C-alpha cells in the first residue's frame, strides 16, 4: 500500500472534503504528487460547541493550495460546509467545468467530540451526526453522477474510523456516526458497482493532526475520569500508537488507483491492530 511509484493518478481529478489540513491536506498533496488535479473544500470556520479543538482557517486551505501547486498540479479550493449540499454541488460543478472530469471522491471531513454519555446534549448529537453522516452523504451525492457521466468508472473513499469498526469510548455520537459511514460505503458500493465505481471505507486509529489542539486533551481526560477502565480499549499491537496523516494517505491513494481495481465494499483499517484488541 505504501508503494512510492509516481504518476498513478495521472490525468485524474479528485474531490476532497476537509482539505485544509491534517488528513485531508495529506490526501490532496499525495494525490497531486501522483498526477491528480484537486477540487478541495473545507469549512475553514468555527465548529459546533461540542468540538473542543481549534478549527481550520482559510489560511490553512491556502497552504494546501500552495502545496498542491508545488507539485505542478491544479487545484480549485473553496470554503464550504459539507452540511451545505448546494455549496458542495456548486464546488463540484465549478471543478468539473475547470478540469473536465471527476474520477475520485474522498469524503474526509468530520468532527470528533469527547463527552461522557450523560454529558451529550441533543444539539451535540445532532451536530456530530449532521457533519459526519449527512455531510459524507452530501459529498458522495455531489460527485457520484459526475463520475458516472465520465464513463470511466472511479473510486469513492469514505473516511470512517477505528470507531466505525469497534468503538471509541466516551464518544457515543462519534462512534454511531462512523458506524453509519461504514454501512454507507457498503450500500453505495452495491448500487454504484454497475458503473465500475468502487466504494470503500478507511478506518484510521489515532493520527497526529490538529484534532489534538485546543481543549481536546482536557476534554478527553475529563471524560475518561468517569470510567477509567475503558481508557485502554484501543491498545495497538504495533509499537506505534499514533501515525502521521501521510500514512493514511498511502492507503487512500492506493484505493484511488488502479492497483485496487477489484477492491470494493471493503473496510481498510490503519489502526495498528487496535480494533482487534
Q: Which of 3-12, 41-50, 127-136 has the lowest mean pLDDT?
A: 3-12
Cell numbers for 65 = 493550495
| Residues with active-site annotation | 174
* pLDDT band at residue 6 using 50, 70 and 90 as cut-offs: low
Q: How deeply is 34 buried, as exposed, middle or buried, from its count of CB atoms within 10 A (0-12, 13-18, 19+)?
A: buried
pLDDT at residue number 212: 87
The pLDDT of residue 94: 98
Percent of the chain with pLDDT over 90: 93
Cβ distance 10 to 35 under 8 Å? yes
Distance between first and last Cα of the chain: 23
* pLDDT for the residue numbered 41: 99
Say whether pLDDT at 5 is over 50: no
234-256 mean pLDDT: 96
Residue 2: the pLDDT is 39
Q: Are strands 154-159 and 267-270 parallel, antiparallel or unpaired?
A: unpaired
Higher pLDDT, 215 or 133: 133
Q: Rounded to two decimals, what is the model's pTM? A: 0.96
**C-alpha cell read off for 202:** 478507511
Q: Which residues pair with 154 in a beta bridge?
A: 197
Query: Taken in order 169, 273, 166, 141, is the CA torsion positive or negative?
Result: positive
Give residue 211's pLDDT band: very low, low, confident or very high (50, 70, 90).
Answer: confident
Mean pLDDT of 179-197: 98
pLDDT of the residue at 277: 72
269 phi and psi angles, rounded to 5 deg? -90, 135
By C-alpha distance, which of 3, 245, 208, 8 is closest to 104? Answer: 8
Q: Please name the residues in contact with 221: beta carbons below 8 A apart, sequence gap of 6 or more.
A: none
The contacts of residue 251 (CB under 8 Å, 6+ apart) are: 1, 202, 268, 270
Q: How much is the pLDDT for 3?
A: 39
Average pLDDT over residues 235-246: 95
Is the predicted pLDDT of residue 4 greater than 90, yes or no? no
Partners of 42 in the beta sheet? 79
Percent of all residues in the chain with a pLDDT value above 70, rounded to a whole number: 98
- The distance of Cα 249 from the centroid of its chain, to the nearest Å, equals 10
Which pLDDT value is given to residue 231?
A: 86
- Give the residue carrying C-alpha cell 468517569: 226
Max CA distance (Å), the chain = 53
Please give the pLDDT value at position 205.
95
Amino acid at each position: 500500500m505504501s508503494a512510492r511509484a509516481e504518476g498513478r493518478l495521472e490525468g485524474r481529478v479528485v474531490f476532497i472534503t476537509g482539505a485544509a489540513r491534517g488528513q485531508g491536506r495529506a490526501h490532496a498533496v499525495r494525490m497531486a504528487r501522483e498526477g491528480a488535479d484537486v477540487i478541495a473544500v473545507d469549512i475553514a470556520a468555527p465548529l459546533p460547541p461540542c468540538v473542543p479543538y481549534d478549527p481550520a482557517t482559510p489560511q490553512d486551505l491556502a497552504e494546501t493550495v500552495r502545496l498542491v501547486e508545488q507539485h505542478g498540479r491544479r487545484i480549485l479550493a473553496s470554503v464550504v460546509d459539507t452540511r451545505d449540499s448546494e455549496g458542495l454541488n456548486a464546488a463540484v460543478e465549478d471543478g468539473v467545468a475547470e478540469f473536465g472530469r471527476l474520477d475520485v471522491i474522498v469524503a474526509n471531513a468530520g468532527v470528533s467530540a469527547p463527552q461522557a454519555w450523560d454529558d451529550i446534549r441533543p444539539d451535540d448529537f445532532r451536530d456530530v451526526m449532521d457533519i459526519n453522516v449527512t455531510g459524507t452523504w452530501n459529498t458522495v451525492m455531489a460527485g457520484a453522477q459526475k463520475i458516472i457521466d465520465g464513463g470511466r468508472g472511479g473510486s469513492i473513499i469514505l473516511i470512517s474510523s477505528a470507531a466505525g469498526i469497534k468503538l471509541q469510548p466516551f464518544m457515543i455520537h462519534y462512534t454511531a456516526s462512523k458506524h453509519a459511514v461504514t454501512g454507507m460505503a457498503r450500500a453505495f458500493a452495491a448500487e454504484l458497482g454497475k458503473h465500475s465505481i468502487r466504494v470503500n471505507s478507511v478506518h484510521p486509529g489515532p493520527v497526529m493532526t490538529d484534532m489534538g489542539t485546543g481543549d481536546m486533551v482536557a476534554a478527553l481526560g475529563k471524560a475518561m475520569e468517569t470510567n477509567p477502565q475503558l481508557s485502554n480499549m484501543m491498545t495497538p499491537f504495533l509499537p506505534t500508537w499514533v501515525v502521521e496523516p501521510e500514512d493514511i494517505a498511502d492507503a487512500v491513494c492506493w484505493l484511488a488507483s488502479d492497483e485496487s481495481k477489484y477492491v470494493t465494499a471493503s473496510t481498510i483499517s490503519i489502526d495498528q491492530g487496535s480494533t482487534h484488541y
